[in-house]
Amino acid sequence: MKLNFLCILCLVLCFEMRAQTRKPNIVFVLADDLGWAGKVYEETLGEDKFTFVEDTRNPTSCTIQVMGPNDHTISQMKGAIRDGLRNVKNSFEDLAVVPGGGAYEIACHNKLMKFMQTVSGKARRGVQAFADALLVVPKTLAENSGFDVMDTIIKMQEEYEKSGIPVGLNCDSGECMSPVEEGIWDNYIVKRQGLHLSNVLATQLLLVDEVMRAGPKIK
């Protein structure tokens, strides 16, 4: 018992000596280390309390508050905001945009059909199939907007052949419009990835089809 007591006493003395010899770590907070806000207030929205910090100097971030009647609506709003921010991010990274509203696909289809005249053999069918596949985008825009698909595509193609400038679809009126003047743009990287993946997927599907045909014959 005496030995245990002495051990405990020695430990206590050691801790006291260390506490006395340890230098305090003092950090001085200056005014430059603190942020600045013109307005800070608390507001109750629904059943939750939120603190708003506004009119800050040199802001590097922000918070977007999304409110809705149910979870589905909030999820849709968050998705739209996220997609919009990604589009802006892609535009800054690519430093390029493409006319939207189906204008790119109409112009590309026109160029491919002219290029097909210089190709002979079975490759002509491949070029035509690729060109027709591009028209899926303006066809989908016309169908979702409630317009006749064939009439809309023919109208856009004729307008592009006459003017020679990018021609898109006005989803409100069904008429042709200039996406450049209307400020309707698509991301360059999205178009590039779409063309690349379509080629890869079509190739993979053809390979799988050949394997399935050759499968029963393999012993």
Q: Verify that 156 and 143 share a domain, yes or no.
A: yes
Q: Verify that 117 and 149 share a domain, yes or no.
A: yes
* 149 assigned to some structural domain: yes
Distances (CA, A) of 196 to 46, 175, 189, 191: 48, 30, 10, 9
DSSP code for 66: -
Q: Verify that 122 and 137 share a domain, yes or no.
A: yes
Q: Tell the residue number behind the tokens 């040199």, with chain if given.
A: 58
What range defines the domain where residue 152 resides? 98-186
Beta bridge partners of 45: 48
Count of domains forming the chain: 2
Is the model's pTM score more than 0.85? no
Q: Verify that 82 and 157 share a domain, yes or no.
A: no
Q: Verify that 110 and 168 share a domain, yes or no.
A: yes
* 44 assigned to some structural domain: no
Q: Verify that 67 and 146 share a domain, yes or no.
A: no
* 75 assigned to some structural domain: yes
pLDDT tens string, the chain, 219 residues long: the values are 443 443 444 444 455 555 444 555 666 777 777 778 888 888 888 788 888 888 888 788 888 888 888 889 999 999 999 999 998 998 899 898 999 999 999 999 999 999 998 888 888 888 899 899 999 999 999 999 999 999 999 999 999 999 889 999 999 888 999 999 999 999 999 899 988 888 888 888 878 766 666 555 555
Per-residue three-class SS string for 136-149: HHHHHHHHHCCCCH
Q: Verify that 109 and 120 share a domain, yes or no.
A: yes
Alpha carbons within 13 angstroms on the beta-carbon side of residue 204 total 6
